[in-house]
Amino acid sequence: MSQIDSTGRRGEAPRRNPGDRGESGGARAREAAPALAALGVSKRFGVVRALDDVTVAVRAGEVLALVGENGAGKSTLVRLFEGVYRPDQGTLAAGGVQHALRSPADAHALGIRVIHQEPDIIPDLSIAENLFLGDFRRIHGVFLDRADLARRTRSMLAEFGLENDLSPWTRAGDLSPAQRQLMEIMRALRRGLKVLALDEPTSSLTEDEAQRLFRVVRRLRDDGVGVIYISHRMREVRDLADRIAVLRDGRLVDERPTPKFPETEIVQAMVGRPIADLYERRARRPGEIALSVQGLTTKRVHDISFDVRSGEVVGLGGLMGAGRSELAEAIFGHDRALAGSVAVDGRPVRLRSPADAIAAGIGFAPEDRKSQALLLLRSVKDNISLAIPDLISRLNFVNDGDERRIAAALVDRLRIRTPSLDASVSNLSGGNQQKVVLGRWLARRPKVLILDEPTRGVDVGAKAEIYRLIAELAAEGIALLVISSEMPELLGLADRILVMAGGRVVAEMPREQASEERILSLAMADNLTKSTTAQ
């Protein structure tokens, strides 16, 4: 906490030296009070502590970068600033005055704007109408003054150097992602913009588009706007930001001016935590190749090749959006393969649907339990037996006894805490729900099991049980492919780790050669640059 107070509170931290970044200080004058500050804010969601006593501030005329792993609390913090969430503890202050931001409208009134990855636009209206919605001038109080609307829109487009590319009457739905973002920024600028937050703005932009966005951001900063910039891409962050704040597990762990914050130290701050002794590690002797993926390509993943041996746990690391879940869905036949092949125990699998993958002996516990794995209206028993109709029925009639015996055995083995087999699965805790999903696949005795974020939203106790179970399954000879965004989990579970970025596997390494820093830098080596660090 202490190191934050010194920089965050009243702007007494040393001013950025204009010389060392090559940009003019511009209109960055008012340093008295930060444009926007969070003072000791905490936010919980159920048992998850999303933010824990975070104090951070952005001053007018500076770019503050927020970095951290997935789930570190960056987005939650932005949602507090945006008035979507309210802090459980702590306060927010804009321009030195405390404000309870109760809604996005409150935030907008204070000149705080957030540009999300997917900007909100009305696709069937024109750029002009989107920009000035709610502020149309009229002729004789009735008719829309289209000439005025076009004039105002053109002058805005001109400010961004887009007047030759776009007409005011272009349909907003026809804009590229980058143009939509710029349109959102223009809309924000219309009403006294003081603080602009950008949440992963470049994830869907090309290099040129990103550069144009950076120019806009720099100009806004020079005009005295406080900019909060969230990104996974180290080069962007270091290029653009005046200060960098690192969040980890909901806490602000370090914050420094960019020149004093080398990349290696940023990465260390992001991941540096002891790996708890959750992972039971036994010497494993992987057997034959159980799952073989060759050149698998879909719309979202490209030319993926790897093997998983029976009894082996292969971890799949990478950032959100790197294509890991998409790869899992492709192997499982949920997404259509455009090229490549998948084989189980040496036999090629024709993947037209998940049913084909299941028949070949593959099981898949998807990332989002509630929308992809569980029938929330049905019982624990029904959810477990969903994928084994052949084992619980004769001539299409369900054999209740068989079904109960199989479900009860799995509830026992996985220690699923449920009032009864007939209890609705929606009443179970996250950890027990996940075990129900695992039970569904274990009932099929799969050869290959793909687990996508198996411990997301699961409390620590259940986490340990799931880890032990994964080890057990490997010992029984199942080939496991585990996707995880939690570095310690990945390192603790996997015998071998594949790293994905941009829909491709960019690296493969045995666990002994893997480290959090190495995986993270490989995963963050974006398309803009081949990162040179941590090789």
What are the residues binding another protein (CB under 8 A)? 332, 334, 353-355, 358-359, 364, 366, 371-379, 382, 386-387, 389, 392-393, 396-398, 422-424, 427, 440
Shorter beta-carbon distance to another protein: residue 95 or 333: 333
Shorter beta-carbon distance to another protein: residue 229 or 364: 364
CB of 227 to another protein, least distance (A): 38
Cα gap 357→342, rounded to integer Å: 9
Question: Going edge to edge, which strands form the sheet with 36-45?
Answer: 48-58, 36-45, 89-94, 97-99
Q: Which residue in 321, 315, 316 sits closest to 232, CA to CA?
A: 321
Shorter beta-carbon distance to another protein: residue 105 or 395: 395
Shorter beta-carbon distance to another protein: residue 10 or 378: 378
CB of 284 to another protein, least distance (A): 28
CB of 424 to another protein, least distance (A): 5
Shorter beta-carbon distance to another protein: residue 92 or 380: 380
CB of 341 to another protein, least distance (A): 20
Beta bridge partners of 59: none
Question: Which tokens belong to 446?
Answer: 């799969």
β-bridge pairing 313-318 and 496-501: parallel
Q: Give the three-class secondary structure for 459.
A: coil
Shorter beta-carbon distance to another protein: residue 240 or 291: 291
CB of 459 to another protein, least distance (A): 19
Shorter beta-carbon distance to another protein: residue 145 or 402: 402
Shorter beta-carbon distance to another protein: residue 63 or 380: 380
Cα gap 245→280, rounded to integer Å: 34
What DSSP element (H or E) covers 217? helix 207-222
CB of 393 to another protein, least distance (A): 5
What DSSP element (H or E) covers 468? helix 460-475
- Burial of 282 from C-beta contacts in 10 A (0-12 / 13-18 / 19+): exposed
CB of 422 to another protein, least distance (A): 6
Torsion angle of the four alpha carbons 341, 344, 350, 353, in this order, in degrees rounded to the nearest 10: -110
Count other C-beta atoms under 10 Å from residue 154's C-beta: 16
Shorter beta-carbon distance to another protein: residue 253 or 407: 407
Cα gap 466→435, rounded to integer Å: 8
CB contact at 8 A, 195 and 31 = no
Q: Which residue in 310, 230, 216 sits closest to 270, CA to CA?
A: 230
Shorter beta-carbon distance to another protein: residue 150 or 359: 359
Beta bridge partners of 314: 481, 496
CB of 431 to another protein, least distance (A): 19
β-bridge pairing 339-344 and 347-349: antiparallel
Nearest 5°: CA angle at 430, between 428 and 434? 95
CB of 443 to another protein, least distance (A): 11
Shorter beta-carbon distance to another protein: residue 2 or 371: 371
CB of 416 to another protein, least distance (A): 16
**What are the C-alpha distances in Å from 342 to residues 157, 255, 404?**
50, 46, 34
163: left (phi over 0), alpha (psi -120 to 50) or beta: alpha
Q: Who's near 213: CB < 8 A, 6+ residues apart? A: 178, 181, 182, 201, 202, 205
Cα gap 4→54, rounded to integer Å: 9
Shorter beta-carbon distance to another protein: residue 189 or 438: 438
CB of 426 to another protein, least distance (A): 8
Q: Tell whether the torsion through CA atoms of 27, 65, 210 and 185 is positive or negative.
A: negative
CB of 417 to another protein, least distance (A): 16
Q: Give the three-class secondary structure for 522.
A: helix
Shorter beta-carbon distance to another protein: residue 296 or 392: 392
Q: Who's near 87: CB < 8 A, 6+ residues apart? A: 38, 41, 42, 43, 51, 80
CB of 358 to another protein, least distance (A): 4
